[in-house]
A and B are shown apart, each in its own frame.
Chain A
Amino acid sequence: MTYYALLFIAGVAGSFHCIGMCGGFACALGGDPRGPGATVVRHALYNTGRLTTYCFLGGLAGALGWSIYTCLGASSPLGAPVVSETLNAAQRGLAVIAGLLMVLMALQFFGFWGMRRLTTGFGGSTLVIALRSLLTRRGHAAPLAFGVINGFLPCPLVYAMVAQAASTFDVLTGCLTMAAFGLGTFPTMLTMGGLGRLLAPRWRQRGVRLAGSFILALGLVTLGRGLVPMTAGHGLHHHLWHLA
């Protein structure tokens, strides 16, 4: 459970980063003229769409890990111990990737790294124009669709979490990993829908710094999980968690 709590917190902290991009969307989605109830439904639908995409990506990553698992299990002639060892190595490799991604992302928060070139690729502008037209549309399907597509927009934090999910080697766990993370982004994103315009840029910047520190820590923990042997890694994990 600690694992999911940690991911939830990662989502909460990471969502300060989201204020920049997704928060902007949430603001733009705005209120519904039919009243506060409709506005809540509108934002809930948007976030449900986003969460679905995250869960899907998590499940898919988990399935990928799972298929690696079954492949290794089936093809190894030497029996279970070797399998678990190979798996262990693969799991740690993925943890290292996820950790590195998070560290890179944290550095970007502090203004060290230009990841922008990496994340804006082909067709970006076309998609953005198209998305803009969705924002102004009324009705229930539009915010849902917007959330779904929003979930696919390039975001290093999501990449890192997907790598995490892949390292779980299980569809359900992978899905839940991303769900925990996605739920973590809910509070900020839901608040953003109403408060976004009130939040001063200076506060946003502080929030981004805070998110950066937390993600750096989480990235280092994940990296440690990959580099330090599993049992010791868990100890360190908990230790760091208590420190934070």
Chain B
Amino acid sequence: MTATPEGLCRHCLLPLGRRGFARTVNGESCQFCCYGCCIAHQVKSGSGEASEAAWFLVRLGAGGFLSMNIMLFSLLVYSGAFAGTDRQVLPTIQLLLFGLATPAVLILGEPFLRETWSQARRGRLSTSALIVLGSLAAYLYSTLAVFRLGGHLYFDTAAMVLMLFTLGRYLEAAGRARASRDLAPLLAAESESATVVEGLEEHRRPVREVRAGMLIRVKPGERIPVDGLIVEGCSHTDDSVISGESRQIAKTVGGSVLAGSINLDGPLLIRSSGSGDESRWAQICRSVRDALRQSSRTQRLADRVASAFVPFVLALAALTLVFWAQRLPLDQAMLAALSVLVVACPCAVGLAAPMAHSLGIGQLARHGCLVRSPGALEALAVTRLIAFDKTGTLTLGQLQLVDLAADGVGEDEVLARLAGLERHSEHGLARAIALAARARGLDPIATEDVQIVPGRGLRGVVDGELVAAGSGALMHELGWQLSPALAERADVMATSGHSVVFVGWSEKACAGRAHAALSFDDTPLPEARATLEALRALGIRVTLLTGDHAASAARVAATVGVDEWQAGLLPEAKRLALDQCRPRDGAVAMVGDGLNDGPGLAWADVGIAVGSATDLARETADLVLPGDGLWLLPWVVGRARAVRSTILANLTWAFGYNSVALTCAVLGLLQPILAAAVMAGSSLLVVLNSLRLERLPGPSYPSALQLSAAVRPESTPQPGEQTQRSRQRLEIPQTL
């Protein structure tokens, strides 16, 4: 066991927040967000007698015993059970109440008092100060009444207020722990340990100390701690933490295993292929943790309001006391002020957003969707426009070589050079080229110094000569000529909607020229159309922004049913296009996968990377969908909206409830015990309302019927139409 990352509660893994404190448990220094979590953690990791958790329950139980007796006797007194002949026992009853109340206040009030004190030493006024002040006032007044003044006793108020707030804290902690349940396997990466085999000995070591090449033993039922290859044994694994798909995969010697997957049925010996903190699992873990650590704008605002609240409430309570003291007996006035203190405690406000967020992030993570900041979820919920990149996002991204036009060179030489160059790219074209070269039995020509020219192509060096592949614009920039015949062939290729790549190289230090044009075809994803329709049904406008040729953009746009598209956009132009949409649509989201989209993803309010997103795209994206996960997008949007509406409902409830109750309390209409019950109820309602998110349905893959509508040949426009409309925003009538 290693320490939990800084800034997160050890138990519920939520941000520490204002009430955070440190405590030593089982000899480890742990950070907790609230007292309840500290307790719950100790209950879970309970080390027998010493655990303070049991002490908390003893505290709650013994406090409950005392306060219930106090309440019972007080009720009997109020209901007049000791009226008439039994009147002489009243002083004895009062002494008894004092005897019961003193330990009750000490036992139940101690955590609140400690919290108030530790915050006060840092010059802060915490919300627990309200509770401490309220219950102490009631207790001290009643004590004076017993021994000096006579009059009404409010021991029941003091005890029950403390009791109900303790209960509220416990509910809060239980709710938070439950909310983070889905996230636990994702966040386990950093606290996991591995059984390292060294010679004949085996040691348990933290995962971050594991280096490449170490041998790791994994027992059945354990999580595989690092990426690696199987050296010994065979088993089934469940990769759901990484891929989001829960299915068993058979693994034998030589097979690769992923960190984070569960070894289901056989013992395995694994040779680690990288250090423990480089696995995808560890990366996911870091990104989820970062997401949880940030608080969204809504929550920051709510927190600020809540903290400004405390002094305001203290002033209000004082005013209430002064006001009512002039009109009513002192004890009545004090009761009203006490109600103000108790009812204003904004416990539910602090809980409103984090719980909904971690539930949302956890559920998305369970289906392989990673959220990098809670703000992204809230932004996605209000997004009215989603821009898609084409290649690899709406299409399979698996291009196939369709045509090759060479100008004075052999086709094999073109392919071999191109394959050598594209080996350094992750673009969808590279794979198609590699496949085509392999099909012809060609070896890629080794190329050095390869550079990516964003939005245009690649350039590299072979034997001191420059080689470049990419768009016509790249050839133009290099000053390389196209022969008229080649240009004509390329035009034909482009007008039939295919992606065209020019290949050129320089020879013998002369200026190079374009030697060949290749055309590639890409098929739209089968579920793309159904997905976009589902998004439109959610009231979201869909647009296509691609760096590709207009004709191929038009073809894909028509097939997947997109009305608006812009083609031939460089990364900077994508940013501009997004900017143009902002005034009309407010928040915009961009979905993409490649290097080209990096700036676009970063510039959009929500950047969504799909599938085998390259690292840069993943870094700039706010949300990462799993490979083949485009169909999840409507569900993700729905989930984001549910999270946002839950948070808004929680905050409305918490603030609305507080202000109504506060008004009642100021007017003297609310008994303090009722006020405390109201506040505990408010916390409970926020917890329950957030947990409703758990019950929403999971994603469902589009049905066969929806998919069959995806590829419709008649919706492909004729080449002649496209040339007239190319390079502008097109309005192709929808055929459905």
Please encode chain B, from 255 to 283, with 1 for each CB lying within 8 Å of some chain A CB and 0 for all others.
00000000000000000000000000000
Partner of A172, one of B46, B69, B76: B76
CB distance from A176 to the nearest CB of B (A): 11
Interface stretch (choices A106-114, A130-138, A153-161, A206-214): A130-138
Decide: A145 and B68 in contact? CB cutoff 8 A. Answer: no
Please encode chain B, from 47 to 87, with 1 for each CB lying within 8 Å of some chain A CB and 0 for all others.
01101011001111110110011011001101101000000
Rounded to whole angstroms, the CA-CA distance of A203 and B69 in the bound complex is 37
Rounded to whole angstroms, the CA-CA distance of A63 and B57 in the bound complex is 28
Interface stretch (choices A11-19, A79-87, A121-129, A194-202): A121-129
Closest 8 CB pairs of A and B: A145-B61, A56-B68, A171-B79, A148-B61, A145-B58, A123-B174, A126-B174, A148-B64
Chain B residues whose C-beta falls within 8 Å of the C-beta of A172 in the assembled complex: 76, 79, 81
A63-B78, A138-B49 given. 6 additional CB < 8 A pairs?
A52-B69, A56-B72, A62-B79, A123-B171, A142-B61, A144-B61
Asked whether B44 is an interface residue with its Cβ less than 8 Å from the other chain, the reply is yes
Chain A residues whose C-beta falls within 8 Å of the C-beta of B78 in the assembled complex: 63, 171
Decide: A171 and B75 in contact? CB cutoff 8 A. Answer: yes
Rounded to whole angstroms, the CA-CA distance of A91 and B48 in the bound complex is 49
CB distance from A162 to the nearest CB of B (A): 14
Decide: A122 and B57 in contact? CB cutoff 8 A. Answer: no
Decide: A66 and B51 in contact? CB cutoff 8 A. Answer: no
Give the dominant DSSP class at A's interface: helix
Sample of 15 A–B contacts (CB below 8 Å):
A49-B61, A66-B79, A122-B174, A126-B43, A126-B177, A127-B174, A131-B57, A136-B49, A141-B58, A141-B62, A145-B61, A145-B62, A146-B57, A149-B60, A171-B75
Partner of B54, one of A52, A53, A142, A148: A142
Give the dominant DSSP class at B's interface: helix
Rounded to whole angstroms, the CA-CA distance of A134 and B43 in the bound complex is 10
Binding site for A on B (CB under 8 A): 40, 43-44, 46, 48-49, 51, 53-54, 57-62, 64-65, 68-69, 71-72, 75-76, 78-79, 81, 171, 174-175, 177-178, 687-688, 691
Total residues of chain A contacting the partner, CB 8 A: 35
Asked whether A165 is an interface residue with its Cβ less than 8 Å from the other chain, the reply is no
Decide: A133 and B75 in contact? CB cutoff 8 A. Answer: no
CB distance from B163 to the nearest CB of A (A): 11
Chain A residues whose C-beta falls within 8 Å of the C-beta of B49 in the assembled complex: 136-138
Rounded to whole angstroms, the CA-CA distance of A141 and B104 in the bound complex is 13
Chain A residues whose C-beta falls within 8 Å of the C-beta of B79 in the assembled complex: 62-63, 66, 170-172
| A 83-119 contacts with B by CB, 8 A | none
Rounded to whole angstroms, the CA-CA distance of A134 and B54 in the bound complex is 5
Rounded to whole angstroms, the CA-CA distance of A147 and B57 in the bound complex is 11
Given contacts A126-B40, A171-B81, contact A134 B58 (CB under 8 A): yes
Binding site for B on A (CB under 8 A): 49, 52-53, 55-56, 59-60, 62-63, 66, 122-123, 126-127, 129-131, 133-134, 136-139, 141-142, 144-149, 170-172, 175
Decide: A129 and B76 in contact? CB cutoff 8 A. Answer: no
The chain A residue with its CB closest to the CB of B71 is A56
Partner of B64, one of A55, A60, A129, A145: A145
Chain A residues whose C-beta falls within 8 Å of the C-beta of B71 in the assembled complex: 56, 59-60
CB distance from A218 to the nearest CB of B (A): 25
